Amino acid sequence: MIRIIAGKYKGKKITAPKNFEVRPTTDFAKEALFSIITNRYNISEISVLDLFAGIGSIDYEFASRGCKDITSVELNGKHVKFIQDINKLLGINEIHIIKQNVFNFIEKESYKSYDIIFADPPFDMEDKEYENLIHCVLNHNFLSKNGEFILEHNTRKDLSEHPNFLETRKYGNVRFSFLGLNSEK
């Protein structure tokens, strides 16, 4: 079960079917992450790309807080339908869902750049896949000039040596690494 923490849909509880293999961001981590984001951005004025969207936990939080431009990429058809059903149930029109493999989506140059790109890939993803994900997001025109790529991963993964690394925040067994286009170590 996920709970929308703040905004228009604050307190709404969303339960995914038991047969869904999902690992939604915990309320504790999500609350901390959105505290950072709301201090840096006016959410109603940004565009967001959510990669590996799962059941849409992050998307609902952005929509609830007034974001009007959310693109959600998820391959699992059951998850895509679930997000569509929740959007209809809550009357959310701001989430555009793309059913596609994330790596196929990011391999090509983007026609649109985003202010925040959030990715929550499987924790057991291999290092070379992480490297490819970061490379494609930062080099294929997805991230706006002053935007941030926020990558959720387990705490054993350390991205602090990446040349585009900005900072990391740890919450339990989850870490959010922030990357940008023009960072210099």
pLDDT at 93 over 50: yes
Least confident of 77-81, 121-125, 128-132: 121-125
What are the helix (H) ranges across 24-126? 27-40, 57-64, 77-90, 102-107
Tell me the per-residue pLDDT of 127-157, one tens digit each, with 9 for 90 and over.
999 999 999 999 999 999 999 999 999 999 9
Q: What's the whole-number mean pLDDT along residues 116-130?
A: 94
Supply the pLDDT for residue 23. Answer: 76
For the chain, what's the residue count? 185
Domain ranges of the chain: 2-179
**Percent over 90 (pLDDT), the chain:** 84
Burial of 132 (0-12, 13-18, 19+ CB in 10 A): middle
pLDDT at 162 over 60: yes
pTM: 0.95
Reported CATH class of domain 2-179: alpha beta
Residue found by looking up tokens 């000039």 in the block = 145
Question: Strand, coil or helix: what is 140?
Answer: coil
Least confident of 36-40, 112-116, 169-173: 169-173
Q: What's the whole-number mean pLDDT along residues 36-62?
A: 97
pLDDT band per the 50, 70, 90 thresholds, residue 124: confident
Q: What's the whole-number mean pLDDT along residues 106-132?
A: 94
